[in-house]
Amino acid sequence: MALTGTRTFVGFGFGAIQSGLFLYEAFFSGAFRRLVVAEVLQDVVSAVRLADNTYGVNIAYHDRVDCARIGRVAIQDPAVDSDRQQVIDAIVEAEELATAVPSVAFYSSDKPGSIHRLLATGLCKKIEQGGPRAVIYAAENHNHAAEILEQRVMEQIPVNQHAAIRARVRFLNTVIGKMSHVVTDAKEIQTQQLATIAPDFQRAFLVESFNRILISKIDFPEPFQRGIKVLQEKNDLLPFEEAKLYGHNATHALIGYIGALIGAQRVADLQESPGVISLARAAFIEESGEALIRKYRGVDPLFTPEGYREYADDLIERMMNPFLVDSIERVTRDTERKLGWNDRLIGTIRLALQQGVRPRRYALGAAAALAVLDSNILDSASPSAVLTKLWGDVPSSAKESEAVLGMIEDASQRLKAWHTAGFPDLEAFYH
């Protein structure tokens, strides 16, 4: 399939989401003539170029994995002067752009090829040269990623040009419930028969087929036609962002950290561990769901008992997809961040308590995460001491902090008892 459209797409970061969502959907939309992506890993850039500017991506369905070949894609290394100029020129003519980097911290650096500098330079030239209006999808897992990106970019642009930029460019938040990962283990690639990014290059993208991706409402005075049609606009994205973080992400983490204590290798393996998935489902529906329904009732059918139960059951079924080969190691990495005051586990506990819901299962998940972070937690170390140090001065309310810590201290004692008992049926044990 050749690129036959008229539009230009620019991506920043060439990981599983960029390759398996934005570039994939742009390629198959038929709306684009140019696909450009900036990537800092030189070996990846070289591999794609040697493959005639194409790459492979694996799509996991419930019963199989299919491979798609995407291209041609102009992949550029922003550390190289000539490549960096190619990215800037593409920004000028682009209608749709997307950042898909590990976190919002990657938006800015002191390097010439930093995302915020590339965008600032390209957007200013867009205005000077009369380039088309554009939307920028911020795909990082942060409720205010778009606002942070816009602030970083605008700091690089003279104040007298801000109005012109804001008239023609929109920074959009996203809710991406599409599970994905990068596979680099040669044995796993061979066992799963995955297509690598390029021939003789030990890296493969594996993404699930799910593509119901939500974005902020595009509020240009005149209609803006997106080339990537599968994205769904929402007038207020925050409720859905919270459902993603405090429902999807929190439950995924709960399952992952319990799995790490058991010694499981894959998320799907936990279907064989008595009571783990039933506890996770109960947490998803009765704790996260009840809290979010109380907070956002009437906003959308999602925030009803029926809607949220359907959401939870669909996600848990997808998490258990054996073809996605989701590893416990991947789900549980970066534990300190995931135990942050505003992140998935502690944030969900706080949300639930604020809504009058007792989140004892998510407290167990936080205790399990602490045990993974510091094995002494299962012996004598204090969860409160570890968390207080981790949070620093972030909590604004001593009363709220004490309530959260109290729940996790209690859950930690129950976790120790479950561990000592040899991991019996978890939901029955913890009921």
Predicted local distance difference test score (pLDDT) of residue 255: 98
What string of DSSP letters covers 349-378?
A: HHHHHHTT---HHHHHHHHHHHHHH-GGGG
Taking 80 as the threshold, does the pLDDT of residue 174 lie above it?
yes
Specify whether 201 is located in the same domain as 128: yes
pLDDT tens string 52-92: 999 999 999 999 999 999 999 999 999 999 999 999 999 99
147 and 208 belong to one structural domain = yes
pLDDT at 397 over 90: no
Same domain, residue pair 297 and 404: yes
Residues 227 and 257 occupy one common structural domain: no
Beta strands in 2-43 (DSSP E): 7-12, 32-38
Residues paired with residue 96 on neighbouring β-strands, in sequence order: 9, 135
Q: How many domains does the chain have?
A: 2
* Same domain membership, residue 407 and residue 267: yes
For residue 374, the model assigns a pLDDT of: 87
Same domain, residue pair 260 and 231: no
Picking from 160, 167, 16, 12, the residue whose alpha carbon sits closest to that of residue 90 is 12
Instruction: Determine what percent of the chain is predicted with pLDDT higher than 90.
Output: 92
Q: Are residues 271 and 420 in the same domain?
A: yes
Using one digit for the tens of pLDDT, what is the confidence trace for 208-259?
999 999 999 999 999 999 999 999 999 999 999 999 999 999 999 999 999 9
- End-to-end Cα distance, the chain: 54
pLDDT of residue 419: 92
Residue 398 is predicted with a pLDDT of 87
Does residue 162 lie within any of the structural domains? yes
pLDDT digits (tens, 9 = 90+) for 145-173: 999 999 999 999 999 999 999 999 999 99
For residue 64, what pLDDT is reported?
95
Residue 380 has pLDDT above 80, yes or no: no
Which residues are CB-neighbours of 95 under 8 A, at least 6 positions away?
Answer: 7, 8, 9, 132, 133, 134, 135, 227
Pair 281, 402 in one domain: yes
Same domain, 227 and 329: no
Q: What is the pLDDT of residues 272-295, one digit of tens each?
A: 999 999 999 999 999 999 999 999
Mean pLDDT of 379-393: 85
* Mean confidence (pLDDT) of the chain: 95
The answer to the question of residue 1 being in a domain is: no
Has residue 28 been placed in a domain?
yes
* CATH number of the domain enclosing 42: 3.40.50.720
223 and 248 housed in the same domain? no
Range of the domain at 12: 7-235
pLDDT of 335-364, one tens digit each?
A: 999 999 999 999 999 999 999 999 999 999
What is the reported pTM? 0.93
Place of tokens 């990623």: 145
Q: Which of 217, 235, 253 is the last residue of a domain?
A: 235
**What is the predicted pLDDT for the residue at 365?**
97
Give residues with Cβ within 8 angstroms of 424, minimum separation 6. Answer: 274, 275, 418
At residue 130, the pLDDT reads: 96
